Structure 1
Amino acid sequence: MHSRKPFFIFVALLFIFGTAASIYRSVEHNVPFLPGQQVQSWSVEAKVMFNGNNNPTEVSLSLPQDPAFDVLSENATSPGYGLNISEGADRRAVWSIRESSGRQSLYYRVTLVPTGQLDVTQDEVPETPEPFLWQVTEKGAADQIMNDVWQRSANNLSYAQQLMSVINDTNQSQNLALLLSVNTRTQLFLQMLHSKGVPAKQVSGLMLEDQRRRQQLNPYVQVYHNGEWVLFDVEGNRQGRPDNLVLWQHNNQSVLDVVGGSNSQVNFSMLQETRSALATSIDMMKNSDALDFSLYQLPLEEQSTFKGILLIPIGVLVVVFLRVIIGIKTSGTFMPVLIALAFIQTTLLTGLIGFLLIVAFGLMIRSYLSQLNLLLISRISAVIIVVIFIIGLFTLISYKVGLSEGLTITFFPMIILAWTIERMSILWEEEGPKAVVMAGGGSLFVATLAYLAMSNSWIQYWVFNFLGIHLVILAMVLVMGQYTGYRLTELKRFKPLAGDQ
């Protein structure tokens, strides 16, 4: 006897790999598990304005590169200007023109999708910053404040927390008032951190609020602590990062540089939008060239074809379960799956009525053909032609009486119907009409259940977007193929034995 251990190992690998592939697709490519999910995106427009000085002009604008937001799409409006977007650690949009005069306006628009990754981590410990060189008139006051705060802290993070509280204290000391008279709160906070060797840097962030216009970037400070850059809003006396803050610039570079112009400024407008989560993930995969092995790279016509083909394993799973485990008899092994596919096109009620009418008329014609003693190939060919004639006749009658639902019966598989009529006719001759009713009724019952499974919107979504599910279905079919016990419908034969005990 052969060991069944390799078989079960193979089935387990199929199940694990299929499940892992589906989870990976959801986590890595952000494909939602449930259809119809929505995500919030932000459309942000930066408007750069300056005065041209009749000279060659180059404008450089820092672009967002924040792990908390994915760039879904971006474009720029700059008539007459050349544009180049540089990638790398510092993404920038660079406009250039030979000569600019008068008031100039340049636009950059980006669509951002939140990722939820608010933490900014860094494995390598940054270099210790150079101590800030204080003015002679400020040094004494700064040293006194820093030394006092330093003694009340345990590490870099607690030092930054205590320092922000002191800077924002309403009861300002004379030393603090002196320092704030020549420095902003954010500048003073960063200078005092550097003076104690605390790794910190100033970043510029934009608060995203729906339908806001002419907004400016706000300064923030990031403090390095245990592999993470902790954000401090010194002006607002808050630690931590809100969900609607996008870090627009964080590499100690200027936000806007204009060469050949004057009086430059940049402001931002924003709008919140609701998008389909699936469409968003597809667009993101296109941007990252992750569609190479996805069905979404196919033309729409082929995608539509595959959406129907990928439903067949669901119908097969239903048929295997109902035949192997339940024990329902059908006319043909997988004929119910093809009938269920036709039901998807015709709707269930129209499909059932059309199937019964075609088979009934086909059996009557087949009974006449059986009297002619034709060869099998000729008889089947005649039945196929008759089925086509019946479908055409019913379609024409439905059109004449205004029943548009009847036009869809052309989706029935004609060859399969012809073989079904042939099998039922032979079964009628050999075992009688009761066997025909049992086989035909079982086929329609299985086809109906397969249709209900295959027409479910969630199942249609899963089998197309998570191809790993088909490996799980294959594993389940293989496992059921090993079942050699009694079918549930066969247990009624043992009911008298159970009653005697």
Structure 2
Amino acid sequence: MASRFPFYLLVGLLFLVGTALSIHRHMTFDIPWLPGEQRQTWSIEARVDFVAQGEEVLASLAIPSTQQGFTQLNQTAASPGYGLSFVERDGAMRAEWSIRRAEGNQQLYYRVDMLVDPYAIPSLPVRPPAIRVNVEQEPFATAANQILERAIERSATPYTLARELIAEFGNQRQKAELLAQQKSKSMWTVQLLQQAGVPARRVHGLFLEDGRRRQQLTEYIQVFDGEDYELFNPETGAQGQPHNLLLWQYHSGPILELMGGSNSNVSFSMIQQEQPFNIALSQKFADNQLLNFSLYSLPLEEQALFKNILLIPVGVLMVVLMRILIGIKTSGTFMPVLIALAFIQTSLITGLIGFLLIVGTGLLLRSYLSYLNLLLVARISAVIIIVIGMIAIFSIMAYQFGLTEGMKITFFPMIILAWTIERMSILWEEEGPHEVLVQGGGSLLVAIVAFLAMNNDVIRHLTFNFLGIQLMLMALVMLIGNYTGYRLLELKRFRPMLRDDHK
């Protein structure tokens, strides 16, 4: 006997690969195992106010992109009369408004939706800034150097140096007050870090609080250690990025550049929203087809099509279980799966009634065709036309009586129905009505079981979102297909043996 090891190895590999792909998709793209979960999104609006001076106006606003903890979903802008473009400059995205002539008070609006996403992949790399060493005049140079020297003595890494610098500004208040006459504390901290050879810059973030209006950006210091970085609060020295802090401007460059205007101000309003995860993921992957092999990158029409196609292996598994392990006979191997798909479109009760009406009426008409001695192809063709006619008549009758559910029988596969009628008619002639009831009833029973499995919300969610499930289903089908023992319904033949044992 040939070794079964290669077979079981293949089944095991299929199951392990399918499981690994599903876990990877869950961990990498934050796709939940169960349906109905919500994803938190923030809608943030930036308002730019300024006074135009009656000449050309060019306004450039720093805008956020996908970053650690947040994925950008979409962005819009409202600026009547202005030209608008989104450009990348020095590794950062900016929104630029332009107009030939404007005068008086002006308002520009920019809105962005950000998805809270712990698995977000930054769309633009965060590069350390170039180190620049400024030469200061006395007495500022001496005071700054004394603070830096004291901080260097108490530090060992770029991050500890940043903490100690911020702390020294609090410890040496007289020197700090002197330096504050020329620059802010955060500017001095960045300058001294760069003087010590540590890449650093000021960045601006927005604290996300639901329903807040006219918020201002908060300043942080971004300190690099190689390619990694940490944020530091310039007032307290606290290290790390708060979970509700969205970095609005985190590349070198100003928040707002304005030409042709004055008295500018940028304020922010925000609201928190909850979205179903499938909508959020569709928006997340809309422009990311190359990085994510996901059905969410397809148009919605194709997504709806694949939701049903990916359920077919579940129905196939039910057929394999019912036929091989239980021993139920069906009319056609996978005809119950197609009937179950029709039940999904029509609902179970409507589908059962429609199926019985069409097949029952079709068998009566098919019995008349037997007396005409037609060839097989012509007979099947006639049955197909009869099925189409019956579906049309039943749909019209259902509409006339106000039974809108009855119109859904058009979802039944007409060719499969025609073949079912033909097979049952031949079976009736060769085996009798009992065998027709056995196979017809078995087909309906398997179709109902397949429908219940395929129409389950959890199964629909898993098959659509985790393509690795298909490999796991294939492994199960192959494993069951290797079974050669007794079927459940065959065990009744041993009932007399039990009776003999009791005697």
User: TM-score scaled by structure 2?
Assistant: 0.82
Distance 1:94 1:58 in 2: 7
Distance 2:384 2:14 in 1: 40
User: In the alignment, which residue of structure 1 is the partner of 2:158?
Assistant: 156
User: In the alignment, which residue of structure 2 is the partner of 1:337?
Assistant: 337
Distance 2:383 2:126 in 1: 77
User: In the alignment, which residue of structure 2 is the partner of 1:473?
Assistant: 473
Deviates more, 1:307-316 or 1:442-451: 307-316
Extract unaligned runs of 5+ from structure 1.
none
Q: 1:139 to 1:438 in 2, by over 3 A?
A: same
User: In the alignment, which residue of structure 2 is the partner of 1:225?
Assistant: 225
Extract unaligned runs of 5+ from structure 2.
none
Q: 1:373 to 1:43 in 2, by over 3 A?
A: closer
User: In the alignment, which residue of structure 1 is the partner of 2:412?
Assistant: 412
Aligned amino acid, residue 96 of structure 1: S
Distance 1:267 1:426 in 2: 79
1:425-481 Cα offsets, whole Å, 9 max, x none, are 554555555434332332221111001112122333343444454344334333433
- Does the alignment pair 1:46 with 2:29? no
Distance 1:478 1:119 in 2: 38
Aligned 1:420-439 pairs, distance under 5 A = 420-428=420-428, 430-439=430-439
Task: Give the drift of 1:40.
Answer: 1.9
Task: Give the drift of 1:38.
Answer: 2.1
Asked if the contact 1:132–1:194 (Cα under 8 Å) also holds between the matched residues in 2, the reply is no
Deviates more, 1:424-433 or 1:474-483: 424-433
Asked if the contact 1:66–1:247 (Cα under 8 Å) also holds between the matched residues in 2, the reply is no
User: In the alignment, which residue of structure 1 is the partner of 2:113?
Assistant: 111
1:288 match: secondary structure: coil
Deviates more, 1:459-468 or 1:448-457: 459-468
Aligned amino acid, residue 104 of structure 1: Q
Sequence identity of aligned pairs in percent?
A: 51
Deviates more, 1:404-413 or 1:312-321: 404-413
Q: 1:211 to 1:431 in 2, by over 3 A?
A: same
User: In the alignment, which residue of structure 1 is the partner of 2:186?
Assistant: 186
Distance 1:300 1:62 in 2: 33
Asked if the contact 2:129–2:201 (Cα under 8 Å) also holds between the matched residues in 1, the reply is no
Distance 2:127 2:349 in 1: 69
User: In the alignment, which residue of structure 1 is the partner of 2:252?
Assistant: 252
Q: 1:105 to 1:326 in 2, by over 3 A?
A: same
Q: 1:410 to 1:262 in 2, by over 3 A?
A: closer
User: In the alignment, which residue of structure 1 is the partner of 2:268?
Assistant: 268
- Give the alignment partner of residue 95 of structure 1, picking from 94, 97, 105: 97
Aligned amino acid, residue 51 of structure 2: N
Q: 1:491 to 1:250 in 2, by over 3 A?
A: same
Asked if the contact 2:198–2:225 (Cα under 8 Å) also holds between the matched residues in 1, the reply is no
Task: Give the drift of 1:327.
Answer: 1.8
- Give the alignment partner of residue 137 of structure 1, picking from 136, 139, 142: 139
1:140-165 Cα offsets, whole Å, 9 max, x none, are 44444444443333333223223334
Aligned amino acid, residue 86 of structure 1: V
2:333 match: secondary structure: coil
Deviates more, 1:151-160 or 1:137-146: 137-146
User: In the alignment, which residue of structure 2 is the partner of 1:61?
Assistant: 61
Deviates more, 1:92-101 or 1:333-342: 92-101
User: In the alignment, which residue of structure 2 is the partner of 1:75?
Assistant: 76
1:342 match: secondary structure: helix
Compute the RMSD of aligned alpha carbons: 3.9
Deviates more, 1:142-151 or 1:243-252: 142-151
User: TM-score scaled by structure 1?
Assistant: 0.82
- Does the alignment pair 1:216 with 2:216? yes
1:117-172 Cα offsets, whole Å, 9 max, x none, are 6999x999958945554542344444444444433333332232233344456xx6
Distance 2:421 2:323 in 1: 21
2:257 match: secondary structure: strand
1:266 match: secondary structure: strand
Q: 1:347 to 1:92 in 2, by over 3 A?
A: closer
Distance 2:219 2:148 in 1: 22
Aligned amino acid, residue 94 of structure 2: R
Distance 2:230 2:498 in 1: 72
Task: Give the drift of 1:241.
Answer: 0.7
Aligned 1:343-362 pairs, distance under 5 A = 343-362=343-362
Distance 1:185 1:157 in 2: 17
Task: Give the drift of 1:231.
Answer: 0.6
1:86 match: secondary structure: strand
1:93 match: secondary structure: strand
1:265-304 Cα offsets, whole Å, 9 max, x none, are 3222222222232222222322335599765676655554
Q: 1:146 to 1:354 in 2, by over 3 A?
A: same
Asked if the contact 1:119–1:228 (Cα under 8 Å) also holds between the matched residues in 2, the reply is no
Deviates more, 1:58-67 or 1:317-326: 58-67
Q: 1:126 to 1:387 in 2, by over 3 A?
A: closer
Distance 2:54 2:368 in 1: 96
Q: 1:66 to 1:203 in 2, by over 3 A?
A: farther
1:445 match: secondary structure: helix
Deviates more, 1:142-151 or 1:66-75: 142-151
Distance 1:376 1:42 in 2: 68
1:286 match: secondary structure: coil
User: In the alignment, which residue of structure 1 is the partner of 2:198?
Assistant: 198
